[in-house]
Every structure is written in C-alpha cells, then in structure tokens.
C-alpha cells in the first residue's frame, strides 16, 4: 500500500499557483415573457418554413429549459422567449409522431379505443374503417359478416343474427348491442344486457347521477359536457386550453391564474419565478440539486449521479469506496471525517486513501507516478490541483484549527 500524504505534492505545486481566471458574466437576461404553449399561427403572409410546418402539422411549444439540463454545474440557456425556456417543435394538438415515418400523423386515440386499428385515421378523431369492418358503439373497427358479428352469428347469406338479450344496431345492422329492458337514464347507456351505466365522458355522482367529466378540472368554470367548460363571469380560457382562469400575464403552467398576479400551483408543483410557471416538486431538491425534478417526486439525475428513492446521489463506479469511505462526488470517494478525496482509490480502515498497487496518492487521486507530468500539463489541470490542495488541507488539518 502506498499512501503518501497530500502535503507531499505541496512543494511541487508551489510554482504552479496563480493563473488568471476569466469569469464570463451573463448580462443578457431577457425579461420578456409570452404564453406557455404557443401554437404557430398563420397569417396571410406565411414564410416557407411556416408552410412546411403547417403541412407537417408541426407546432412550437415552450418547455422549461431546466428539463434539458444533464450536467450538474452547467445550467441550460434556453432558446425560447426567455433563457428559461427552450422552444421545441412538437406535433400540433390532435396529431402524434409516427415513430416509423418520424412525422406527425392524425391521432384517433381519443375517439377509437385501439387508435383506429383496422381503419384509416383521416384527421384528428375521424376514423374510417376499412371495407369489411364497421365502427361499433365504442368506436373500434370490428369485423362484419361473413367473418364475424359482435354478439351474434353470421348466416351464409351475410346477415347477422343477434344472441339472446342483444339487438341489432339499427344504423348499420352489422353488429349487436346489449339490450336493456327499461330505458337508461340521462347520460346513460346500455352497457351489458339489463345493465345501464354512464356514457363515455360521464361519471356517476352520488346526488346528480351521471355528470360530464372535464380533465383537467375547469378551474373557475363549470363542466357542461365532456371536456367542455363554461367560465364563470370574469374568467377566460387561453387559446387551446380548456380551463377557466383569471386574465394574467404569468405563464402559470401546471397551475391556475387566480388573479392578475397570482398563479396557484397544482398539487405536487411549486411556483418558479424564472419561468413564472409551476415546476414539479421533489423532496430535498433531488439531493441538493444533483438532478432535475421532471414530475412530482420523480428525479432525473445529472451525469455521474444515480437515483436513490427520491434523491440523486453521486456514483462511484470505478472503485468501491470501502467500508470507511463514502461516495462524495461522481467517481470520488471521501475518506474519514474530513472526507479527504480519493479519486480512483478506496478508503482503508485508518481512513486513508488506499491506491491500487503500482499507483500513489497525489493530492486527491491515485495515479501512476510516471504519469504525474501528464496530470499537470495544462493550466486547467494545474488550477484544479491548486484548488484541491486547499480542500485537502482543510479536510485533513484545517478542521483541527477550527477555521
């Protein structure tokens, strides 16, 4: 075991101290803010790229740039309306990205349970069944006779005869629906023989029978039909957003504008002044900022960190830190009380950095002695060791003096 103390390198380093440091300051912080989700709008004079976007059903969306951060100490400067937003291209509402063709195609998933399988989704929510298929009461394209008939059987002449307690769909005469002896209530339909339940988009309430569902909640308004809100006096809906709010200048994404200046965040979100929006909240800020909170309670860790429950902790993969060490930063074990850094080594039972055979401990790491010059061949590296030397001094000795 070779364990040279950190002070061994001190004389070699004294000549390296003091290099000019350039600090770049960011003086161009924009304060302009626009709406949170912007759909591209087309005037009379559209540019070529706008035409392309419209033909391809591409819209723009502003996403908090913090969601794009992958390195702990390099925040992302957004290219959106402010530096706190990235402006990205997404498929417009009603379209989805086809992963095979990588283009935006109409989406029928809201009106067809299996997204228009056995049919052609012509435009958002409009599913046209292929020949020999018919739309059933749930919007799915199902086989017709002579192949099959839902809740019935096919005769050779092509007609569908329903099983007991089912009746032929009056409009298509191609499939059978369950039969209810008494007629079902308001916003109800016959879902199985003799059984009524709420129609799609409605939910049973204890007092008022089946009531329409609006998701998200209407806010300052009333849900009058599935996903249709009627605002209370003085409240408005923003473009492409079916929620009633006060008129306000804040983005207030994941929240509700209560007044001109107040954004009330949904549960699991907290207000962020930079984006004037609500960002998801994670306990302990994902481990003192070692990751970014991408959904309530869900951290995505920065490079070099891994998720432990609800926080991100540094990862020390190259070597196990040992019984007496603790991973203090990515690939850096900390030994003993002062957590003396031990990169590429592990901590032994006398709280020293123990290096693999053939390597020696130099300030904060283990290295092969003949490689030392390579570790000092740029001013950046020398600066690192100068900073690190101060840290190690404090970790080992400084704390004894109670600075």
Ligand X SMILES: *[C@@H]1O[C@H](CO)[C@@H](O)[C@H](O)[C@H]1NC(C)=O
Chain residues that interact with ligand X, rule: CB under 6 A: 68, 79, 86-88, 155, 157, 159, 272-274, 318, 331, 343-344, 374, 377-378
> Strand order of the sheet with strand 365-367?
325-329, 332-335, 340-343, 365-367, 360-362
Shortest Å distance, C-beta 350 to ligand X: 22
Q: Where are the beta strands (DSSP E) in 124-266?
A: 126-129, 133-135, 141-143, 152-154, 160-162, 166-168, 176-178, 188-192, 195-198, 202-205, 209-212, 221-225, 228-231, 236-237, 244-245, 255-259, 262-265
Between 48 and 273, whose beta carbon lies closer to ligand X? Answer: 273
The two tokens of residue 39 are 């759909």
Q: 10 Å Cβ neighbour count for 98?
A: 13
C-beta closer to ligand X: residue 180 or 333: 333
- The DSSP secondary structure of 380-395, one letter per residue, reads HHHHHHHHHHHHHHHH
Q: What is the DSSP string of 335-370?
A: ETTTTEEEETSEE-TTS-EEPPTT-EEETTEEE-GG
Nearer to ligand X, 186 or 377 (CB): 377
Pull the structure tokens for residue 228: 């249709």
Q: Toward ligand X, which CB reaches closer, 155 or 261?
A: 155
CB of 15 to ligand X, least distance (A): 18
In the complex with ligand X, the residue whose CB is nearer, 108 or 250, is: 250
Minimal distance, residue 332 CB to ligand X, in Å: 7
For residue 49, the 8-state DSSP code is: H
Q: Least CB distance from residue 279 to ligand X, whole Å?
A: 8
Query: Do residues 229 and 237 touch, judged by C-beta distance below 8 A?
Result: yes
Region label for 344, one of left (φ > 0), alpha (ψ between -120 and 50) or beta (otherwise): left
Q: Kindly give, in sequence order, each residue whose CB lies less than 8 Å from that of residue 179, ignoring residues fewer than 6 positions away.
A: 165, 166, 167, 190, 193, 194
Query: Measured between alpha carbons, how far is 71 from 305 in angstroms, rounded to an integer?
Result: 10
Closer CB to ligand X, 167 or 184, in the complex: 167
Question: Which residue, 159 or 360, has its beta carbon nearer to ligand X?
Answer: 159
Q: How far is the CB of 398 from ligand X (least distance, A)?
A: 24
Minimum Å distance from CB 373 to ligand X?
8
Give min distance, CB of 5 to ligand X, in A.
Answer: 20
Q: Is 87 helix (H, G, I), strand (E, B) or coil?
A: strand
Residue among 205 and 377 whose Cβ is closer to ligand X: 377
Residues 6+ apart with CB under 8 A from 219: 229, 235, 243, 244, 245, 256
CA 43 to chain centre: 32
- Min dist CB 351 to ligand X, Å, is 21
Closer CB to ligand X, 186 or 379, in the complex: 379
- Report the residue number, 10 or 88, with the smaller CB distance to ligand X: 88
Q: How far is the CB of 319 from ligand X (least distance, A)?
A: 7
Q: How far is the CB of 155 from ligand X (least distance, A)?
A: 4
CA distance 383 to 385: 5
């Amino acid at each position: 075991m070779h364990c040279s103390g950190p002070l061994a390198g001190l004389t070699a380093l004294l000549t390296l101290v003091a290099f000019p440091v350039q600090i770049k300051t960011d003086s161009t912080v924009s304060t302009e803010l626009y709406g949170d989700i912007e759909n591209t709008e087309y005037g009379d004079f559209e540019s070529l790229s706008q035409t392309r976007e419209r033909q391809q059903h591409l819209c723009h969306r502003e996403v908090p740039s913090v969601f794009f951060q992958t390195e702990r100490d390099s925040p992302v400067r957004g290219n959106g309306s402010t530096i706190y937003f990235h402006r990205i291209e997404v498929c417009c509402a009603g379209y989805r990205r086809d992963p095979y063709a990588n283009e935006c195609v109409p989406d029928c998933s809201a009106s067809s349970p299996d997204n228009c399988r056995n049919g052609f989704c012509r435009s958002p929510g409009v599913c046209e069944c292929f020949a020999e298929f018919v739309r059933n009461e749930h919007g799915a394209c199902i086989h017709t006779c002579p192949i099959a008939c839902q809740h019935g059987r096919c005769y050779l002449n092509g007609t569908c005869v329903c099983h007991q307690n089912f009746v032929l769909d009056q409009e298509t005469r191609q499939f059978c629906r369950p039969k209810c002896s008494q007629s079902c209530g308001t916003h109800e339909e016959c879902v199985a023989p003799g059984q009524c339940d709420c129609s799609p988009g409605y939910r049973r309430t204890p007092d008022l029978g089946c009531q329409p569902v609006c998701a998200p909640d209407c806010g300052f308004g009333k849900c009058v039909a599935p996903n249709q809100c009627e605002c209370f006096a003085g409240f408005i809906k923003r473009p492409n957003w079916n929620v009633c709010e006060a008129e306000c200048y804040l983005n207030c994404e994941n929240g509700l504008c209560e007044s001109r200046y107040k954004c009330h965040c949904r549960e699991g979100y907290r207000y962020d002044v930079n984006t004037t929006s609500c960002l998801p909240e994670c306990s302990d800020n994902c481990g003192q900022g070692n990751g970014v909170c991408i959904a309530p309670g869900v951290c995505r860790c920065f490079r070099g960190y891994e998720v432990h429950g609800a926080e991100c902790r540094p990862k020390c993969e190259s070597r196990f830190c040992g019984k007496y060490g603790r991973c203090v930063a990515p690939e850096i074990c900390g030994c003993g009380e002062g957590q003396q850094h031990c990169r590429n080594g592990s901590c032994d039972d006398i709280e020293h950095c123990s290096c693999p055979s053939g390597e020696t401990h130099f300030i904060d790491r283990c290295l092969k002695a003949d490689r030392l010059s390579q570790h000092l061949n740029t001013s950046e590296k020398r600066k690192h060791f100068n900073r690190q030397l101060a840290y190690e001094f404090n970790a080992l000795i400084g704390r004894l003096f109670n600075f």
